[in-house]
C-alpha cells in the first residue's frame, strides 16, 4: 500500500455515546498532586482551556453536519459532539471550586472565552466561499487539537506515577474519563477533516496554528496559576520543571511530545494507528463517574 494515504486501523473503531457524568469537588485540595504545585497547575490549565475550547468544537461541528455525506461518519460526529459537550461541562464545574480555594481563574478564562468565541468564532463572513473556507479551516484546527487530546488521554490513562504520588482520586477520574473518551473518539475529527477536505497543506498549516496556540495558552496558564496561587510566593514556571516532571512521569515526557509532531505530519497518519481503544474501554468500564452515569441512564 502506498505511504501517501492515511491508513485507518478498522479494529480501533467503536460506537460513541455521551456519558452523563457528575463530579463533586468539595474534597479536592488546591494542590491535588500532593506537594507538587507545578504538576497540579500544569494539568489544571486543562480546566481553563477546555470549557471554552470544547464548547467551540461543538459550535463548529454543528455547522459542519450538513457537509457530511456518509452515515457512519455522521453517527460518529453526533456521538463526538455529545462527548465534547460533557467534557466542557465537567471541566467548567471545577472552576468555581478553584475560586473557593482562593484561586480565581476568571481573568484567564475570560480571555480564553474571547479567544474561542470571538477570534475563532463565526466572524461576519459572506455566505459562500469565505464562510466555507473558515469552516474547513476550523474543522482542520480541531483535527490537529484532537491529535493532542488523544495523546494526553493516552498519557493520563498510563500515568501510574500520579497514583503513586497520591493524587486526588476524583480529579484523576475526571482526567481519565475524559482521556478515555478522547482515545475512544480520536479518529472522528481527523475523519471529518478527510471527508470535507483532507488537503495536506491545510493539515500542516492548521497544525502549526493549533500547536503554537496550545503552547502559548498553556505556558501562560501555568504562569497565571503559579503567580496567583494564594499558598505560593514567588513561584516561577520554567521549562526545566516541565522536563523534569516528564522524566518523573507526573507530566508527559518532552521527548514523547516532540515525537508526536512528525507522526501527525506524516502523509500516512491516521489517529487509529495510535493509542488503544481497548484500554480506554476498559477504563470506562471501571471509572466511578462512568459507572454512576450508566446507572443514571438505566434508572
Partner 1 sequence: MPKPRTLALIAGAALLTRRALRRRVQGSPLWPLPALDPPISGRPRSRAWKLLLTAHETIADGVVRLRLEGPDLPRWEPGAHLDLVLPSGLVRQYSLCGDPGDSSSYTVATRLVEDGRGGSREVHEQLTEGMELEVRGPRNRFPLVDAPAYVFVAGGIGITPILPMLRSLPDGTEWRLLYGGRTRASMPFLEEVRKLAGDRLTVVAEDEDGRPDLAALFADPAEGTAVYCCGPEGLMAAVEEALPEGAALHLERFAPRAGADGDTEFELELRRSGKTLSVPAGSTVLAAVRGALPDLAYSCEQGFCGTCQQRVLEGEIDHRDELLTDAERRDSMLICVSRARSDRLVLDL
Residues near partner 1 (CB under 8 A):
17-18, 20, 22-27, 48, 51-52, 55, 58, 61-62, 65-66, 78-79, 81-83, 85-86, 89, 92-93, 95-96, 99-100, 105-115, 117-118, 220, 223-224, 227, 292, 294-299
Closest among 30, 9, 165 to 97, alpha carbons compared: 30
Q: Supply the minimum distance, in Å, between the C-beta of residue 126 and partner 1.
A: 20
- Residue closer to partner 1, measured from CB, 114 or 133: 114
* 32-36 LR contacts (CB < 8 Å, sep 24+): 32/167, 32/168, 32/171, 33/162, 33/165, 33/167, 33/168, 33/250, 34/165, 34/166, 34/167, 36/165, 36/245, 36/250
- Residue closer to partner 1, measured from CB, 117 or 122: 117
DSSP 8-class letter at 117:
I
Cell of 140: 482542520
- Residue closer to partner 1, measured from CB, 95 or 275: 95
Q: Got the DSSP string for 216-283?
A: HHHHHHHHHHHHH-TT-SS----HHHHHHHHHHTSS--HHHHHHHHHHHHSTT--GGGSS-HHHHHHH
Q: Supply the minimum distance, in Å, between the C-beta of residue 247 and partner 1.
A: 29
Q: Supply the minimum distance, in Å, between the C-beta of residue 151 and partner 1.
A: 23
- Residue closer to partner 1, measured from CB, 31 or 47: 47
Q: To which residue does cell 498519557 refer?
A: 155
- Residue closer to partner 1, measured from CB, 22 or 248: 22
Q: Supply the minimum distance, in Å, between the C-beta of residue 96 and partner 1.
A: 6
Q: Supply the minimum distance, in Å, between the C-beta of residue 44 and partner 1.
A: 13
The per-residue b/e assignment along 198-223, b for 16 or more CB within 10 angstroms, e otherwise, is beeebbeebbebbbebbeebbebbbb
- Residue closer to partner 1, measured from CB, 37 or 252: 37
- Residue closer to partner 1, measured from CB, 89 or 244: 89
Q: Supply the minimum distance, in Å, between the C-beta of residue 262 and partner 1.
A: 29
**C-beta of residue 22 within 8 angstroms of C-beta of residue 79:** no
Q: Supply the minimum distance, in Å, between the C-beta of residue 59 and partner 1.
A: 10
Please tell me the distance from the alpha carbon of residue 105 to that of residue 98, in angstroms, as a whole number. Answer: 7
Closest among 264, 159, 169 to 214, alpha carbons compared: 264
Name the CA radius of gyration of the chain, rounded: 19
Q: Supply the minimum distance, in Å, between the C-beta of residue 51 and partner 1.
A: 4
Please tell me the distance from the alpha carbon of residue 242 to that of residue 238, in angstroms, as a whole number. Answer: 7
- Residue closer to partner 1, measured from CB, 23 or 190: 23
Amino acid at each position: 500500500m502506498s505511504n501517501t494515504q492515511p491508513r485507518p486501523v478498522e479494529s480501533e473503531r467503536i460506537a460513541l455515546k455521551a456519558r452523563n457524568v457528575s463530579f463533586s469537588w468539595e474534597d479536592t485540595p488546591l494542590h491535588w498532586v500532593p506537594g507538587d504545585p507545578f504538576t497540579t497547575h500544569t494539568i489544571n490549565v486543562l480546566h481553563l482551556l477546555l470549557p471554552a475550547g470544547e464548547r467551540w468544537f461543538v459550535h463548529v461541528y454543528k455547522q459542519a453536519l450538513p457537509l457530511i455525506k456518509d452515515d457512519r461518519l455522521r453517527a460518529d460526529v453526533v456521538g463526538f459532539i455529545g462527548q465534547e459537550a460533557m467534557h466542557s461541562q465537567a471541566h467548567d464545574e471545577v472552576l468555581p471550586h478553584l475560586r473557593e480555594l482562593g484561586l480565581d481563574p476568571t481573568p484567564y478564562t475570560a480571555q480564553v472565552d474571547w479567544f474561542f468565541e470571538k477570534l475563532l468564532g463565526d466572524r461576519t463572513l459572506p455566505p459562500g466561499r469565505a464562510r466555507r473556507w473558515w469552516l474547513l479551516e476550523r474543522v482542520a484546527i480541531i483535527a490537529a487539537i484532537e491529535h493532542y487530546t488523544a495523546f494526553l488521554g493516552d498519557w493520563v490513562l498510563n500515568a501510574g506515577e500520579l497514583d503513586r504520588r497520591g493524587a486526588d482520586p476524583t480529579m484523576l477520574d475526571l482526567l481519565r474519563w475524559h482521556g478515555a473518551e478522547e482515545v475512544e473518539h480520536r479518529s472522528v475529527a481527523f475523519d471529518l477533516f478527510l471527508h470535507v477536505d483532507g488537503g495536506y497543506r491545510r493539515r500542516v498549516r492548521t497544525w502549526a496554528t493549533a500547536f503554537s496556540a496550545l503552547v502559548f495558552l498553556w505556558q501562560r496558564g501555568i504562569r497565571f496559576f503559579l503567580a496567583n496561587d494564594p499558598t505560593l510566593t514567588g513561584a516561577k514556571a520554567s521549562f526545566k520543571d516541565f522536563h523534569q516532571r516528564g522524566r518523573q512521569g507526573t507530566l508527559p515526557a518532552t521527548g514523547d511530545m516532540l515525537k508526536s509532531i512528525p507522526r501527525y505530519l506524516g502523509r500516512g497518519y491516521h489517529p487509529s494507528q495510535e493509542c488503544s481503544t481497548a484500554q480506554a474501554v476498559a477504563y470506562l468500564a471501571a471509572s466511578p463517574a462512568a459507572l454512576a452515569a450508566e446507572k443514571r441512564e438505566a434508572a
